[in-house]
A and B are shown apart, each in its own frame.
Chain A
Amino acid sequence: MIRKPLRPLASILHARDAGENPDQIERANLRERHEEMRNKGRARAEGRLLIMGVLFAGAFVTVGARMGVVSMSEAMEPRTSYAGSRIQAERADIVDRKGRILATNLETHSIYAHPHEMIDPAAAASKLAEIFPDLDAENLERRFRDGRKFYWVKKKISPEQKQAVHDIGEPGLLFGRREMRLYPNGRLAAHILGGASFGEEDVHDAELVGVAGAEKFFDDALRDPANGDKALTLSIDLTVQTAAERVLWGGMKLMNAKGASSVLMDAHTGEIVSMVSLPDFDPNNRPRPPAKGQAADSPLFNRAVQGLYELGSTFKIFTAAQSMELGLANPETKINTAGPLRWGKFKIRDFRNYGAQLTLTKVIVKSSNIGTARMAQVIGAARQQDFLKQLGFFEPTPVELVEASGAQPLLPKNWSELSTMTISYGHGMSASPLHLAAGYAAIANGGTKVVPTILKQDNVVQGPRVMTVASAEASRLMLRKVVSEGTASFGEVPGYAVGGKTGTADKPLENGRGYYEDKVIATFAAMFPAHDPKYVLILSLDEPVETSGDEPRRTAGWTAVPVAAEMITRVAPLLGLRPEVEPAPLAGITLTSN
Chain B
Amino acid sequence: MTEMVYGALPSQAREPVLPKWWQTLDKWTMASIVLLFLIGLMLGMAASPPLAAKNGFAPFHYVQKQVIFGSAALVAMVVTSMMSPQLVRRLAVIGFAITMVALALLPVFGTDFGKGATRWYSLGFASLQPSEFLKPGFVVVAAWLMAANEEINGPPGRRWSFLLMMTIVVMLAMQPDFGQACLILFGWSVMYFVSGAPMLLIGGICLSLIPVANFAYNNSEHFARRIDGFLDRSVDPTTQIGYATEAIREGGLFGVGVGEGQVKWSLPDAHTDFIISVAAEEYGLILVFAIMILYATIVLRSYFRLMRERDPFIRLAGTGLVAIFGVQALVNMGVAVRLLPSKGMTLPFVSYGGSSLIAGGIAVGMILAFTRSRPQGEISDILRGQTR
Contact = CB atoms under 8 A, between A and B. Distances in A.
Please indicate whether A and B come from the same complex rather than being unrelated chains: yes
Contacts of A38: 310-312
A62 interface: yes
Contacts of A37: 150, 152
Contacts of B234: 82, 202-203
B157 to A, nearest CB: 14
Interface string A43-83: 01110111011001101101110111011111110111111
A40 B250 CA distance: 52
Given A41-B312, A42-B310, A68-B285, A48 B334 contact: no
Given A50-B307, A72-B253, A82-B237, A56 B333 contact: no
Contacts of B304: 53
Interface stretch (B16-24, B42-50, B291-299): B291-299
A70 B150 contact: no
Pairs A-B, 3 closest by C-beta atoms: A202-B234, A53-B303, A66-B337
A33 interface: yes
B323 A52 contact: yes
B289 A64 contact: yes
A63 B253 contact: no
Interface string B296-317: 1001100110111111100100
Contacts of A354: none
A34 B150 CA distance: 10
Interface string A68-110: 1011111110111111000000000000000000000000000
A56 B152 contact: no
Contacts of A49: 194, 303, 306-307, 315, 319
Given A49-B194, A52-B319, A70 B248 contact: yes
Contacts of B248: 67, 70-71
21 contacts: A38-B310, A41-B150, A42-B308, A45-B195, A52-B193, A56-B296, A56-B326, A56-B330, A57-B296, A57-B300, A60-B299, A63-B337, A66-B339, A67-B285, A67-B288, A67-B292, A72-B253, A72-B285, A75-B246, A76-B249, A149-B236
Given A38-B310, A76-B249, A45 B289 contact: no
Given A45-B315, A60-B295, A150-B236, A70 B303 contact: no
Contacts of A114: 236, 238
Contacts of A39: 310
A48 B308 CA distance: 12
A30 interface: yes
A79 B237 contact: yes
Contacts of A34: 151-152
A305 B242 CA distance: 50
A44 B237 CA distance: 48
A71 B152 contact: no
Nearest to B301: A53
B196 interface: yes
Contacts of A81: 237, 242, 246
A33 B237 contact: no
Q: Is the interface of B mostly helix, strand, loop or mixed?
A: helix
B240 to A, nearest CB: 11
Nearest to A117: B238
Interface string B223-258: 000000000011111110011011011111100000
Given A56-B326, A79-B238, A82-B237, A71 B193 contact: no
B280 interface: yes
Interface in B138-154: 150-152
B361 interface: no
Contacts of B249: 70-71, 73-76
A219 to B, nearest CB: 22
A48 B193 contact: yes
Given A52-B194, A52-B303, A70-B248, A63 B237 contact: no
B354 interface: no
B387 to A, nearest CB: 14
Contacts of A30: 152
A42 to B, nearest CB: 5
Nearest to A51: B193
B328 to A, nearest CB: 12
A63 B328 CA distance: 13
B190 interface: yes
A257 B348 CA distance: 78
B196 A63 contact: no
Nearest to B376: A42
Given A30-B152, A52-B190, A60-B330, A78 B246 contact: yes
A533 to B, nearest CB: 57
A: interface residue count bin? 35 or more
A64 B292 contact: yes
Contacts of A149: 236, 238-239
Contacts of B193: 48, 52
B339 A78 contact: no
A71 B285 contact: yes
B335 to A, nearest CB: 10
Contacts of B315: 42, 45, 49
B360 interface: no
A50 B388 CA distance: 15
B284 interface: yes
Contacts of A48: 193-194, 196
Contacts of A71: 248-249, 251-253, 280, 284-285, 288
Contacts of B253: 71-72
A354 to B, nearest CB: 67
Contact of B280 (A67, A78, A80, A203): A67
A83 B309 contact: no
A49 B300 CA distance: 10
Interface string B254-286: 000000000000100000000000001000110
Contacts of B312: 38, 41, 45
A571 to B, nearest CB: 50
B207 to A, nearest CB: 18
Nearest to B300: A53
B243 A78 contact: yes
B262 to A, nearest CB: 9
A485 to B, nearest CB: 69
Interface in A1-52: 30, 33-35, 37-39, 41-42, 44-46, 48-50, 52
A78 B281 CA distance: 13
Contacts of B309: 42
Contacts of B289: 64, 67
Given A60-B295, A67-B280, A73-B249, A33 B337 contact: no
Nearest to A62: B339
A37 B246 CA distance: 54
B350 to A, nearest CB: 15
A72 B252 contact: yes
Interface in A180-225: 202-203
Contacts of A66: 334, 337, 339
A16 B242 CA distance: 80
A150 B237 CA distance: 11
B291 to A, nearest CB: 10
B139 to A, nearest CB: 14
A60 B325 CA distance: 13
B132 to A, nearest CB: 22
Nearest to A73: B249
Given A56-B300, A83-B233, 13 more contacts: A35-B377, A44-B196, A48-B193, A48-B196, A52-B190, A57-B296, A59-B330, A60-B292, A60-B330, A67-B248, A67-B333, A71-B280, A149-B238
Nearest to A47: B307
Contacts of A57: 296, 300
A279 to B, nearest CB: 38
Contacts of A46: 307-308
A164 B236 CA distance: 25
A432 to B, nearest CB: 40
B218 to A, nearest CB: 22
A64 B333 CA distance: 9
A500 B274 CA distance: 80
